[in-house]
Structure 1
Amino acid sequence: MAADHYEVLGVSREATPEEIKKAYRRLARELHPDVNPGEDASERFKLVTHAYDVLSDPEQRARYDRGGDESPFGGAGFGGFGDIFETFFGGGGGGRGARPRSRRERGEDALVRVTLDLKDVVFGVHRDIDVDTAVVCETCEGSCCQPGTSPVACDICHGTGHVQRQVRSLLGNVVTTQPCNVCHGYGTTIPYPCATCQGQGRVRSRRTVSLDIPAGVESGLRLQLPGSGEVGPAGGPNGDLYVEVSVSPDPVFSRDGDDILATLDVSMPDAILGATTTIESLDGPVDLEIRPGVQGGDVLTIKGRGITPLRGTQRGDLKVGVHVVTPTRLDGKERALIEDFAKRTKAPGPKLAEFHQGLFAKLRDRFRG
């Protein structure tokens, strides 16, 4: 006759799930084959494990309390208690083709963000990035065990990571394969886990990753560094590291595709007569010719001073929008000169001109937000 599960765990029938779990842990520590190699202890350990499997599952416990067939124990047609233990723990343990889980798993991907200046986007930049991720434990080198020790085969599933369970259904007796409750499907147990990583094979640490950021990147772009993410459990392969780029606004220049935009204030005399000036671009001084009669809203183009495309070699252009500055304060002599100039040129008074879509587009782009 099968032993009463409550008696096996030494708890009352009114025991709470926490009391049942506490009793199982106490007995498991006392009877586990790694601690108590005796044959009697091994048999009791099997009883204790099965009793816990039943009573820790609310549905199985309720069925057991009603006197039903909660498991392959009890009832005709099962060949008795000894045959059932053979099904649970004997004959190689796991189902056909079942393999134990690997403790080594791929690590998680990691994401970091880096902020660049527009100048970094033009030429590309090298950055050393600090990343807080999981790395291999130096003490156990990913084995999860204390140095000098190693995992041992599970006595319950005999290293397969699985046990068979036989249950009665309307279709007859059904044998199912489930992960071993003792080794959690790994097929091995770790009697002496590494104290540094608590048996995980990895620890949290800050490390530095060197990254060459190419020219042409833009805000929101993610660069992938395969194998630079978190190391997996038990020293498993690293995940990937993703670097998300954010570009800070520049007070003078802005980006339009592969071109760089800027605005140049031009005095009225220089706009009329033309001039040559030197401006500071993102890659150094560059000469700019202002043709005579340049108009406000005109765009002066300096070839090859823009951004190198992310997947290309031909740089964009630096486009400079002209803003003609009209003087607001004139002394008497200056005013007289302007009035004389107006009389000589016989300039017409202000009037509506033909609609110029291009001019409006230039002004909108130049002055927008």
Structure 2
Amino acid sequence: MAEKRDYYEVLGVAKDADDAAIKKAYREIAKKYHPDINPSAEAAEIFKEASEAYSVLSDKEKRAQYDQFGHAAFDGSGGGYGGGFSGFSGDMGDIFGDIFGDLFGGGRSRRNDGPMKGANLRTAVRITFDESVKGCEKELKLNLKDPCQTCHGSGAKPGTSPITCPKCQGRGQITITQQSMFGMVRNVQVCPDCHGSGKIIKDKCTDCRGTGYQTKLKTIQVTIPAGIDNGQSIRIRGKGEPGINGGEWGDLLVEVAVSQHPIFRRQDYDIFSTVPVSFVQAALGATIRIDTIDGQVEYELKAGTQTDTQVRLRGKGVPSLRNKNVRGDHYVTFVVQVPTSMTKEQKEALQAFGEAMNGKTTANTTTTKKKHPIKDFFEKDKDK
């Protein structure tokens, strides 16, 4: 028979781990290896081993005995309890129900008939890049619920009232107890008769068919703040689904989709763009105009600017959502454009330029070379 592994090692926790850490470790193992999730024989053994470890380490008295005597505390060979390990008897069913409440529709039986907030609704709106940077107002037409004007939200026919659900006694939940290999497991589920409301409507309102609400097409005004990014949502409180048992209404979440800009690219609160410059402008320097989200700005391009040179325009980026007066920067990358077609005169002038710079010309021409002033070549290029 294989020797039992250390319980702390089984759960993957330190010997000084607190109860919360032990419970969390067991929970993770159970979610992965519980027989209802993983039906393999290997998973069943792992789950059984983890359950045994948890049943000891989650009990203060048993844990103290185990820390002192190890596995001998439960097999009668040491100074512990003796009489052997009692397996999964005792309160293991309660432990199991507490651990797996969120996986199997409930936990320990508890009353939950108080007010509950309604569910949130989701929709989306598309805006332009400029609108995301500067903010805007949008109108959305949505089908939303309103309390029924006939029954005033009760769902019952005028002159009648809902009655207490006989199945759950008005609690809105029922408890199902089942026998498992680990003991009795109690699962709490929503009452199938009243669907969690605790009330049954015998005579339903004919206008809302017993729901208590009517759906109407409404126009919602949405204020989109400056600086919002693609994928972020705006919460409009109280425009979601109605609450349960008098609970507050849910919210409407409007997800913003930002269209791409032909020039600008956003990263956090900074903007990036590429600006083409001619060979002459890059070589001699020039005053150029750069597009920003605030319009065009003048920039003094330095002589000798190389391609892929990047400059920063401070405060020309996207406003912060928290403070519109705080803005990111705009990063501009210059790309030097090489002419793709030139006249014969321009080619000869460029050859003369190359010779003046002690370089070798690359163009082969059969025409007689004539000397042209380099300055004239640059001036012609500028005029273009």
Please indicate the TM-score interval, normalised by the length of the shorter structure: 0.5 to 0.7
Whole-angstrom CA distance in 2 between matches of 1:208 and 1:293: 57
CA contact under 8 A between 1:108 and 1:230: conserved in structure 2?
Answer: yes
Within the candidate set 286, 306, 331, 1:319 is matched to 331
Within the candidate set 121, 133, 153, 2:132 is matched to 121
1:135 and 2:166 aligned: no
Aligned to 1:336: 348
Whole-angstrom CA distance in 2 between matches of 1:101 and 1:135: 23
Aligned to 2:208: 197
CA contact under 8 A between 1:110 and 1:133: conserved in structure 2?
Answer: no
Q: Residue 191 of structure 1: CA displacement?
A: 4.9
Q: Residue 302 of structure 1: CA displacement?
A: 2.1
Aligned to 1:230: 241
Q: What TM-score, normalized by structure 1, do the two folds share?
A: 0.54
Query: Which amino acid is the alignment partner of residue 323 of structure 1?
Result: V
Q: For residues 182 and 125 of structure 1, do their structure 2 counterparts lie closer, same or farther at Cα, with a shift above 3 Å needed?
A: closer
Whole-angstrom CA distance in 2 between matches of 1:180 and 1:261: 56
What is the DSSP-based 3-state SS (H/G/I as helix, E as strand, rest coil) of the residue aligned with 1:132?
strand
Aligned to 2:312: 301
1:290 and 2:318 aligned: no
Whole-angstrom CA distance in 1 between matches of 2:337 and 2:195: 78
- Output aligned runs, 1:35-50, within 5 Å: none
Give unpaired runs (5+ residues) of structure 2.
1-109, 172-189, 363-384
Q: For residues 188 and 316 of structure 1, do their structure 2 counterparts lie closer, same or farther at Cα, with a shift above 3 Å needed?
A: closer
CA contact under 8 A between 1:143 and 1:150: conserved in structure 2?
Answer: no
CA contact under 8 A between 2:275 and 2:290: conserved in structure 1?
Answer: no
- Can you list the C-alpha shifts for 1:55-75, whole angstroms capped at 9, x where unaligned? xxxxxxxxxxxxxxxxxxxxx
What is the number of residues matched between the two proteins?
A: 235
Higher relative contact order structure (alpha carbons within 8 Å, sequence separation ≥ 6): 1
Q: Residue 326 of structure 1: CA displacement?
A: 0.8
- Output aligned runs, 1:234-253, within 5 Å: 237-253=248-264
Q: CA RMSD in A?
A: 3.6
Whole-angstrom CA distance in 2 between matches of 1:207 and 1:230: 14
Whole-angstrom CA distance in 2 between matches of 1:155 and 1:292: 85
What is the DSSP-based 3-state SS (H/G/I as helix, E as strand, rest coil) of the residue aligned with 1:333?
helix
What is the DSSP-based 3-state SS (H/G/I as helix, E as strand, rest coil) of the residue aligned with 2:305?
coil
Q: Residue 195 of structure 1: CA displacement?
A: 0.8
CA contact under 8 A between 2:164 and 2:199: conserved in structure 1?
Answer: yes
Q: For residues 235 and 142 of structure 1, do their structure 2 counterparts lie closer, same or farther at Cα, with a shift above 3 Å needed?
A: farther
Q: For residues 320 and 211 of structure 1, do their structure 2 counterparts lie closer, same or farther at Cα, with a shift above 3 Å needed?
A: same
Whole-angstrom CA distance in 1 between matches of 2:277 and 2:192: 81
What is the DSSP-based 3-state SS (H/G/I as helix, E as strand, rest coil) of the residue aligned with 1:145?
coil
- Output aligned runs, 1:132-171, within 5 Å: 132-147=143-158, 149-151=159-161, 161=170
Whole-angstrom CA distance in 1 between matches of 2:231 and 2:253: 11
Whole-angstrom CA distance in 1 between matches of 2:291 and 2:327: 18
CA contact under 8 A between 1:100 and 1:160: conserved in structure 2?
Answer: no
1:271 and 2:291 aligned: no
My pick for the range that moved more, 320-329 or 213-222, is 213-222
Aligned to 2:230: 219
- Can you list the C-alpha shifts for 1:331-353, whole angstroms capped at 9, x where unaligned? 22111211222222224899xxx
| Larger Rg computed on CA atoms | 1
My pick for the range that moved more, 224-233 or 111-120, is 224-233
Whole-angstrom CA distance in 2 between matches of 1:243 and 1:183: 31
Whole-angstrom CA distance in 2 between matches of 1:114 and 1:155: 42
Q: Residue 215 of structure 1: CA displacement?
A: 2.4
Q: For residues 269 and 161 of structure 1, do their structure 2 counterparts lie closer, same or farther at Cα, with a shift above 3 Å needed?
A: closer
CA contact under 8 A between 1:132 and 1:206: conserved in structure 2?
Answer: yes
- Can you list the C-alpha shifts for 1:116-149, whole angstroms capped at 9, x where unaligned? 22212212222222233333223322122334x2
Q: For residues 189 and 254 of structure 1, do their structure 2 counterparts lie closer, same or farther at Cα, with a shift above 3 Å needed?
A: closer
What is the DSSP-based 3-state SS (H/G/I as helix, E as strand, rest coil) of the residue aligned with 2:230?
coil
Whole-angstrom CA distance in 2 between matches of 1:246 and 1:144: 38
Aligned to 1:43: none
What is the DSSP-based 3-state SS (H/G/I as helix, E as strand, rest coil) of the residue aligned with 1:146?
coil
Whole-angstrom CA distance in 2 between matches of 1:184 and 1:336: 88
Q: Residue 110 of structure 1: CA displacement?
A: 0.6
Query: Which amino acid is the alignment partner of residue 214 of structure 1?
Result: P
What is the DSSP-based 3-state SS (H/G/I as helix, E as strand, rest coil) of the residue aligned with 1:144?
coil
CA contact under 8 A between 1:139 and 1:196: conserved in structure 2?
Answer: yes
